[in-house]
Chains A and B, each alone.
Chain A
Amino acid sequence: MPSEINTTETFVAKPRTLKDLRADIAAGAVKATDLAETYYERIAEVNPRLNVYLSLSKDRAMAQAAHVDQLAAKGDPLPPLAGIPVGIKDVLVMQGAPATAGSKILEGYRPPYDATAVAKLETAGAVLLGKLNCDEFAMGSSNENSAYGPVRNPVDTERVPGGSSGGSAAAVAANLAVATLGSDTGGSIRQPASFCGVVGVLPTYGRVSRYGLIAFASSLDRVGPFAANVRDAATMLGVIAGHDPKDATSSPALVPDYAAESDKPVEGLRIGVPAEYFSDGLDDEVRAEIESGIVDLQAAGCVIKPVSLPHTKYAIPTYYLVATAEASANLARFDGVRYGHRSQQSETLGAMYSHSRDEGFGAEVKRRILLGTYALSAGYYDAYYLKAQQVRRLLAEEYLRAFAEVDAIVTPTSPMPAFKLGEKTGDPLAMYLADIYTVTASLAGICGVTVPCGTTAAGLPIGMQVLASHLQEGTAFRVARAVETAQQS
């Protein structure tokens, strides 16, 4: 039975659009410094309750804002995100600002460099407010695995914002930033965006540089934006996307004007609906809203076609073998030697490694490292890791076959709306199963956008996931925009 929202504890607030803010800043009607101050005031008021920000970078933010105001005063052309307040998930490094990855093992760590995506935002004029709370090392679907306390969903503070980029989603939903960056490995941008009622983008693997992203699973990790509307999310992607020589997996493909792509009509586009995403386990209210959204797309001139993705049910076990195996390798570097937490009074180097990691890592991280190590260990590698990589190819090929028939595929982003804090923390497997609609796209490397598509009777946000083939983000934005437009009428 859906519970009623406690209406005294909701922090939902919609940021202004990039277009409006940009016009005001260019005209001098709004000073970037005043805008930044307004956001810091709201953060001071609201953050104690929502726990969205872990640290604030006020000096850097105000210096950038002052610089933008100078450009505006001179009448110089402004870069695309000039003066726009943005938050950064704490798995992305900002020089001199703390980077915890939501973990105690990096408490006190200050990176000596900027992530490429962060540097690109700064070049575009964005005002970087601070670092956002997330599940530890991006491992989680509720932001309850953060070593620094959970984030609360602004829509209903007794509920989770989703994860792992819970802080990034909640920040936009509560207008604690106009836009944010998060990361998505198995759904960590899409699912929280859907739980909080905002737009989240999963760029194609390699579309955005991973340089400066604290790695979880290197063949799955993506950096992507959150925003309050589709066009602004598209603008954000356009700023951070592009080839980076510092990331050997980054794509050399040119970056189109995603915002302009999102303006294009959807008439004649073929939309695939996979039956496997609409079967048992899907909440009835979610189903109803997504089906209604599909009807809207049809009314906008899309051709709706059933598609089949029969291997969908194997995606979760595949994902949890591939991701945990890669994580066990990536997290080996946290050993107390060069940065982060070092356990005191260890007699030997080996003991120092074990004690530092034991003291610094939370339970979910340890569980995944152990699972991954087991899957890779001698005698088990073929049965687990190799098998998973073979199934991964089958899943990816299945998507590519579907995309030969349709331009985009739409599904619910999550089988359920935001659940209550503590509801799933006792059962790791139950938490993993919540990722069922997002992990296949992660494994296949394709792109997608989640767009708000109605709410439950109790007012909990529902998201529609629009998936497109590799490097076809423009199509995903176009369809998502049509869904958004229909919602507003």
Chain B
Amino acid sequence: MTAKVTLKDVERVAELAHLELDSDEKPRMVGDLNAILDYVAELNELDTTGVAPLAQVSELQGAGGAGVLRQDVTLPSLPRAAVMSQAPESDGAFFKVPKVIER
């Protein structure tokens, strides 16, 4: 599997990531991604059959974290006014945003 990222791929991925790239950014990004993906293809040299993926290092012996979950109880959180004060647009209770779909 060698990468050959096209402009269409970059556009598709940008859409997934809610990113908008302008017309000169796109070809640069195609080049950059291809260079990086060619490099990471080195990983295929390794036989990883039967190797369990490691997502959380805490599971390693001696690493000592990530075990017990807390009780599912409601605890005090941040004051609402302080949180809402950072909103670009709100009515104090809700965040206001443009409409979801075009009519």
Contact = CB atoms under 8 A, between A and B. Distances in A.
A249 B65 contact: yes
A369 B10 CA distance: 11
Interface string B75-103: 00011001101111100000101111110
A352 B52 CA distance: 40
A397 to B, nearest CB: 8
A44 B29 CA distance: 39
A29 interface: no
Contacts of B39: 316-317, 429
B52 A205 contact: no
Nearest to A351: B98
Contact of A353 (B18, B36, B64): B18
A236 interface: no
A348 B17 contact: no
A387 B63 contact: no
Q: Is the interface on chain B under 10, 10 to 19, 20 to 34, or 35 or more residues?
A: 35 or more
Interface string B7-25: 0011001101111111001
Nearest to B40: A317
Contacts of A369: 17, 19
A245 B66 CA distance: 11
B65 A250 contact: yes
B98 to A, nearest CB: 5
Contacts of A94: none
A348 B40 contact: no
A348 B100 contact: yes
B74 interface: no
A388 B43 contact: yes
A339 interface: yes
B86 to A, nearest CB: 4
A66 interface: no
Contact of B53 (A349, A392, A400): A392
Contact of A251 (B37, B64, B78, B85): B64
B46 A471 contact: no
Contact of A394 (B5, B48, B58, B100): B48
A251 B59 CA distance: 11
A205 B86 contact: no
Given A219-B56, A348-B101, A352-B98, A384 B86 contact: no
A452 interface: no
A350 B17 CA distance: 11
Contact of A219 (B20, B22, B55): B55
Interface string B29-55: 100110111011111111010011111
A471 B62 contact: yes
A249 B58 contact: yes
Contacts of B102: 347-348
A318 B32 contact: no
A354 B86 contact: no
Nearest to A331: B17
27 contacts: A112-B83, A219-B57, A251-B63, A313-B42, A314-B46, A316-B39, A317-B39, A328-B17, A336-B88, A338-B86, A338-B95, A339-B87, A350-B100, A351-B98, A354-B19, A370-B29, A373-B16, A387-B48, A389-B55, A390-B48, A391-B43, A391-B48, A391-B51, A396-B54, A428-B32, A432-B36, A444-B57
Kindly list the 7 A-B residue pairs having the minimum CB-CB distance in the complex, ordered from nearest. Answer: A445-B57, A389-B53, A206-B65, A112-B82, A317-B40, A342-B88, A393-B54
Interface of B: 1, 5, 9-10, 13-14, 16-22, 25, 29, 32-33, 35-37, 39-46, 48, 51-58, 60-67, 69-70, 78-79, 82-83, 85-89, 95, 97-102
